[in-house]
Amino acid sequence: MKKKLEELDLLRAIGCIAVIIIHVTASTLIRYRPHSPHLKLAYIINTYTKFAVPLFIFISGIVLLHVYRDKPLSFFKFMKSRLMSIGVPYLIWNLIYYMVFLKRGIYPPSPRFFIEHLFMGTLLYHFYFVVIIFQFYLLSNVWLYCFKRFNPTSLLLIAAIINFVSMKYMYFKYSDRLFLNYLFFFILGCYLVTLKDKTMEALYRFRSILYILAIASGGLLTQQLYLVRVSKIRPLPFVDFLWYFYSCLAIIALYFAATSIAKKYGRVVTLLKPVGDASFYIYLSHPLFLMVSILIIQRLAIQSITQETIFNLIFVSITSIAFGILYINRNKLISRLGLAIK
């Protein structure tokens, strides 16, 4: 029997909350007065949460190899389950957002337009993740074959090289949706599954160093993004890969932190597990609740950017998390409602 990976529930919860923070704070980066303390704080918060999507891809790598490492994977059965659990909600939410944008006159009433944006993940800013993760799913047997036949450390090194080459040299329309740009994060998740318990325990003892390195690299990334945006200073030559480096360190640090919390504080896992279980639906729905929040702010005539940001963050977090949890528990709620009516 496979052991339960409780730390993944925490990581999913952290990931979806980080996504909400990124999208809520994004608009403040262009609205605050240059060099203001509020802008600096916004940059710190926004930059330090940029690990979110790589974290979800990392988790997908862990789950794939953890479940199928010692048993065969039926590709068509696997893809059918992913289409039902991910593809169908993705389609429904694309339709929801498309209807909203049609109503607001932003998008044209064109089936061809909708289908193109559906497959490219370009209808809204956060849909690109689903396009990327499906590319990894389509190649699921390739990843399993490689980890069963080749040295995991060599695979991790090759993935890093391919990822580097893709990010540096592969530029074309929709290249940001190419799975190669996120390959290392996925393979890193697979790689951790292959490590023996003694190796993981040894790495776990050095987790404090990982925390420091993650914080330091995130600070450097924040500084560079801030200077480029506000002071128009030319960034360091390797700034394009600094986000990549920070995300790797942040993901590993968060993994060990989540493992530590799962071991010592079971109540935290119990509390956040529903958020982790509902993370995909929170991810899909939170921009809609952000739109609603902005409308409420307009009605309330809130002028302060800080007050607006705080309101958005609280409102979107509460509504999208509540929606996600209610949705995944819909059958239980319907059943209880039926019993109550009887």
pLDDT single digits (tens) 83-103: 999 999 999 999 999 999 999
Least confident of 175-184, 191-200, 272-281: 191-200
The per-residue pLDDT for 338 is 61
Backbone φ and ψ for 21, nearest 5 degrees, come out as -60, -45
328 domain-assigned: yes
Domain that holds residue 21: 6-341
- In the predicted model, is pLDDT for residue 70 greater than 70? yes
Is the pLDDT at 174 greater than 80? The verdict is yes
116 has pLDDT over 70: yes
- Buried residues in 28-51 as b, exposed as e (16+ CB within 10 A): bbeebeeeeeebeebbbbbbbbbb
Helix (H, G, I), strand (E, B) or coil at 149: helix
- pLDDT of 1 higher than 70: no
CA atoms within 13 A on the CB side of 50: 24
Q: Is 237 inside any structural domain?
A: yes
Whether residue 197 lies inside any domain: the answer is: yes
Distance CA 7, CA 261 (A): 8
Number of domains in the chain: 1
